[in-house]
């Protein structure tokens, strides 16, 4: 290979190429000459090097772009996890707090003050425990969808955890806030399909209308207080916060702290309301009803403390006390032939049914007091039975094997499915008093109640109608074929000693 002539400019071009490559210009290339000498070989080598560097650079750029995109995605995911609920996609508590602070700040600058709605599902625990957590999750997702559909684009729907939701309504007047709360209630009263079943995800809603200068955390606190007032008022309703509700909230906390010692200090009481044969007026049973003889507040009704007991974890202990006490008082029954035909009804909450040792506890108490199992009837609410799982069914079957009766309580307030009742281990149905309120004045209601009684009888079950308060109601029910009734007409709840003395002869109203 010959040496290039001294005047050959290719060497200068080659030097320029090296300088440009070193400066980062990877696009520069030199053409080889016809000489095909050593300079051309170097030029070709440098061209190949430039190609390799260019490819490496482009690959590096692509990898940097990919890593940057991945980092951006990871950042967005972290923000989503930090600010949004992973199940429903709604804002979480942190994001809600931030947006509440912004809404309060805008109100300080002249915008309308925000309002907050706080929602808590009324029967979610029963549904979640009875039908499974996967169904519970589907229900929560559906709740999120329904709530999002009733608000404005500027509003924020958040899930605070569990079955608790909040809606922030910035720059809104009270009438608008109430309309949104009404729409939310309506949406949540619509059934939610779960296979062949339907559940009703009703909720209690607390509403707090904000004022300028009010701290964001106080908005949520007051809405929460109003929500508890809505639950105490019967559930499935909305309540607007009032300052006096704080007293009720403090009272609930006080009750929760005192419930733990109520049993130990012998403050709980059982009263009994008679169940009678409508034809003869003779008592055939009595329902055990709990009361709390509070040392300073007097005699408290269940509505004043049972909800607190459920939320504070005291309900199982109270339920066990009720069972043991009712069975122990049955032992005091006078020795007479009709003893075993008289039955005492005891209410069970779903949480008590799910307690693993329930059947054994009942069997031990019956054996300890020499009380026949047939004298005990255990009542569970319609909602609790309908949403129970296989474990609940086994627990009820175990109670039936003991010889005790099982009754469905408050029938007519929920599912009211006769076909489903036939598959449950029950022998009687207690028809809710709400169904007979207009039975003496509304012919349509008479036909409706008559159809329910016929269906219950067709299912091979006994019917007991609750809440009978007048002779006219009793007579109309007897005409419809109802055999048993309970209500103030036949007696108010009284201690066991009082009801025993009244059982010596039929003194109840009878159908003429």
The answer to whether residue 2 is domain-embedded is no
- Within this chain, do residues 447 and 341 fall inside the same structural domain, yes or no? yes
Q: Looking at residue 249, what is its pLDDT?
A: 72
- Within this chain, do residues 239 and 319 fall inside the same structural domain, yes or no? no
Q: Looking at residue 357, what is its pLDDT?
A: 85
- Within this chain, do residues 170 and 212 fall inside the same structural domain, yes or no? yes
243, 278, 301: which is the final residue of a domain?
A: 243
243, 269, 299: which is the final residue of a domain?
A: 243
Which residues constitute the domain of residue 149? 93-243
- Within this chain, do residues 324 and 402 fall inside the same structural domain, yes or no? yes
Rounded Cα distance between 35 and 42, Å, is 13
Contacts of 346 (CB under 8 A, 6+ apart): 287, 288, 322, 323, 326, 376, 377, 378, 379
- Within this chain, do residues 64 and 97 fall inside the same structural domain, yes or no? no
Q: What is the per-residue pLDDT across 439-470, written as a single tens digit (0 to 9) for each?
A: 989 999 999 999 989 988 888 899 999 999 99
- Within this chain, do residues 161 and 230 fall inside the same structural domain, yes or no? yes
Q: What is the per-residue pLDDT across 113-130, written as a single tens digit (0 to 9) for each?
A: 999 999 998 877 767 766
- Mean pLDDT score, 400-415: 83
Query: pTM for this one?
Result: 0.61
The answer to whether residue 79 is domain-embedded is no
The answer to whether residue 508 is domain-embedded is no
Dig out the tokens for 310 from the structure.
């459920």
The answer to whether residue 81 is domain-embedded is no
The number of domains in the chain is 3
The answer to whether residue 185 is domain-embedded is yes
Confidence of residue 390 (pLDDT cuts 50, 70, 90): very low
The answer to whether residue 511 is domain-embedded is no
- Within this chain, do residues 53 and 140 fall inside the same structural domain, yes or no? no
Closest CA to 277 of 483, 476, 469: 483
Burial profile 322-350: b = 16 or more Cβ within 10 angstroms, e = fewer: bbbbbbebbeebeeeeeeeebbbbbbbbb
The answer to whether residue 77 is domain-embedded is no
- Mean pLDDT score, 27-55: 77
The answer to whether residue 428 is domain-embedded is yes
- Within this chain, do residues 196 and 270 fall inside the same structural domain, yes or no? no
- Within this chain, do residues 53 and 154 fall inside the same structural domain, yes or no? no
20, 36, 70: which is the final residue of a domain?
A: 70
User: DSSP labels for 112-157?
Assistant: PPPEEEEEEESSHHHHHHHH-HHHHHHHHHHHHHHHHHHS-TT-EE
Most confident of 152-156, 235-239, 255-259: 152-156
pLDDT higher at 425 or 407: 407
Q: Looking at residue 412, what is its pLDDT?
A: 76
Least confident of 175-179, 423-427, 482-486: 423-427
User: DSSP labels for 71-107?
Assistant: HHHHHHHHHHHHHB-TTT--B-HHHHHHHHHHHHHHH
pLDDT higher at 368 or 340: 368
> Kindly report the CA angle at 74 between 73 and 79, in degrees rounded to 5?
95
CB contact at 8 A, 188 and 140 = no
- Within this chain, do residues 294 and 187 fall inside the same structural domain, yes or no? no
CB contact at 8 A, 381 and 410 = yes
- Within this chain, do residues 175 and 313 fall inside the same structural domain, yes or no? no
Model confidence at 389: pLDDT above 90: no
Q: What is the CATH number of the domain that holds 163?
A: 3.30.70.270
Q: What is the CATH number of the domain that holds 288?
A: 3.20.20.450
- Within this chain, do residues 30 and 167 fall inside the same structural domain, yes or no? no
């Amino acid at each position: 290979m010959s040496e290039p002539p001294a005047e050959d400019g290719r060497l200068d071009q080659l030097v320029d190429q090296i300088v440009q490559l070193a400066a980062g210009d990877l696009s520069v290339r030199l053409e080889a000459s016809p000489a095909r000498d050593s300079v051309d070989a170097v030029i070709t080598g440098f061209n190949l090097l430039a190609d390799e560097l260019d490819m490496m650079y482009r690959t590096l750029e692509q990898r940097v772009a990919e890593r940057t995109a991945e980092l951006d995605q990871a950042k967005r995911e972290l923000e989503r996890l930090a600010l949004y609920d992973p199940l429903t996609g709604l804002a979480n508590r942190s994001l809600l707090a931030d947006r509440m602070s912004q809404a309060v700040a805008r109100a300080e600058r002249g915008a309308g003050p925000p309002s907050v709605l706080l929602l808590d599902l009324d029967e979610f625990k029963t549904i979640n425990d009875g039908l499974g957590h996967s169904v519970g999750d589907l229900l929560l997702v559906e709740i999120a969808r329904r709530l999002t559909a009733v608000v404005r684009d500027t509003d924020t729907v958040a899930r605070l955890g569990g079955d608790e939701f909040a809606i922030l309504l910035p720059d809104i007047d009270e009438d608008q806030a109430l309309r949104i709360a009404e729409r939310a209630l309506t949406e949540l009263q619509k059934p939610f399909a779960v296979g062949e079943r339907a559940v009703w995800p009703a909720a209690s809603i607390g509403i707090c209308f904000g004022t300028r200068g009010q701290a964001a955390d106080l908005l949520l606190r007051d809405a929460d207080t109003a929500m508890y007032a809505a639950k105490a008022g019967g559930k499935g309703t909305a309540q607007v916060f009032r300052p006096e509700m704080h007293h009720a909230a403090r009272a609930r906390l006080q009750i929760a702290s005192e419930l733990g010692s109520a049993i130990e200090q012998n403050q709980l009481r059982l009263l009994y309301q008679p169940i009678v044969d409508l034809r003869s007026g003779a008592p055939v049973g009595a329902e055990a009803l709990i009361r709390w003889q509070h040392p300073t507040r007097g005699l408290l009704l269940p509505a004043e403390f049972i909800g607190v007991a459920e939320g504070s974890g005291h309900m199982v202990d109270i339920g066990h006390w009720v069972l043991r006490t009712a069975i122990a008082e049955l032992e005091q029954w006078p020795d007479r032939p009709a003893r075993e035909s008289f039955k005492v009804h005891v209410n069970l909450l779903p949480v008590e049914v799910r307690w693993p040792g329930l059947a054994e506890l009942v069997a031990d108490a019956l054996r300890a007091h020499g009380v026949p199992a047939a004298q005990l009837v255990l009542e569970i609410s319609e909602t609790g039975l309908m949403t129970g799982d296989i474990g609940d069914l086994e627990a009820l079957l175990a109670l039936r094997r003991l010889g005790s009766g099982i009754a469905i309580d408050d029938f007519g307030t929920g599912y009211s499915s006769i076909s489903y009742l036939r598959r449950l281990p029950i022998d009687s149905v207690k028809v809710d008093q709400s169904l007979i309120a207009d039975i003496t004045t509304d012919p349509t209601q008479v036909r409706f109640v008559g159809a329910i009684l016929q269906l219950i009888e067709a299912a091979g079950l006994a019917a007991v109608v609750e809440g009978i308060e007048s002779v006219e109601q009793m007579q109309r029910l007897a005409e419809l074929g109802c055999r048993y009734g309970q209500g103030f007409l036949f007696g108010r709840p009284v201690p066991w000693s009082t009801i025993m003395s009244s059982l010596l002869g039929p003194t109840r109203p009878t159908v003429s």
